[in-house]
Amino acid sequence: MAPNNFRTSIIAICAASALLCASCATSAVKENDVSTPEKKSKLLGDMGTAALIRRDFPQAIEDLRKALIANETNLDARNNLGLAYWEMGQKAMARAEFKRVLEQNPKYSDAYVNLGAADLSDGRLTEARAYFEKALQNMEYKTRHRALTNLAQVALRENNLDEARRILYQSIQANPEFCMSHFLLGTVYMRDHNSKAAAGEFAKSIRSTCAGNVEGHYQLGIAYLAAKQYDKARAEFALLIDQFPQTVQAQQAADQLRFVP
């Protein structure tokens, strides 16, 4: 049989990266009232956030900069400008915007998470951990599960499975529907050679709005294969090939199918 190629990928799923976009879920532009600088900034910020979501990063930068010209205290716009810079590869400028957010509001936890995610991507685990823990010190932080999931990624990088598992349990308790927590817990179970439990978590990582998580589908197939549930593995690999034919995971699934008993 070909190797299973299980990888502990740190991936973006459910249309959300490890970095956090402020007000992404409510960014639709609803009004054209620009009667005050604050309202003009809000409108431009919403336009920039909408561009960020559709991955039009140059437009996002243009609109978000204008939002800050209108009102430099629009911290959601500044945070999202940092994200747009990050996506354009301008990492130093991204970090500078996140830090400016915190200069204006030390309790803006998403900026701590974004700085931590930036350090995590660069392999600075100690610095990343400190930022995630700082975000969690804010007891009013409404999306604590995101900071917890990022913190679990640090533990995984350090190969501390017990800590990663403990943190992920907390994250799932905070938000049972957050797909990335289930994906990473599946990763932990696979490292523990508990393929049945891993399959259960990977299945949760591809439900509902996360159905497009192709890595989750692939790892679910791998977990089924490891558990010798060959019919389920075959079905999952076939689904990948059918629904996501242009992806790397679809090619990997095709390779795996040749060796499924």
| Per-domain residue ranges of the chain | 19-105
pLDDT over 70, % of the chain: 88
Answer for the pair 84, 61: CB distance below 8 angstroms, yes or no.
yes
Q: How confident is the model at residue 33 (pLDDT cuts 50, 70, 90)?
A: low
pLDDT score, position 209:
82
Task: Determine whether 80 is exposed, middle or buried from the number of CB atoms within 10 Å of its CB (0-12, 13-18, 19+).
Answer: buried
Q: What pLDDT digit, counting tens, does each position of 176-217 carry?
A: 999 999 999 999 999 999 999 999 999 999 998 888 999 999
Q: How confident is the model at residue 21 (pLDDT cuts 50, 70, 90)?
A: confident
For residue 23, give Cα distances in angstroms to 12, 42, 90, 157: 18, 11, 22, 29
The pTM (predicted TM-score) of the whole model is 0.84
Domain at 19-105: CATH code: 1.25.40.10
Alpha helices, DSSP H, located in 107-229: 109-121, 125-136, 144-157, 161-174, 179-191, 195-204, 214-226
Residue that is written with structure tokens 């079905």 in the block: 235
Q: What pLDDT digit, counting tens, does each position of 109-128 carry?
A: 999 999 999 999 999 999 99
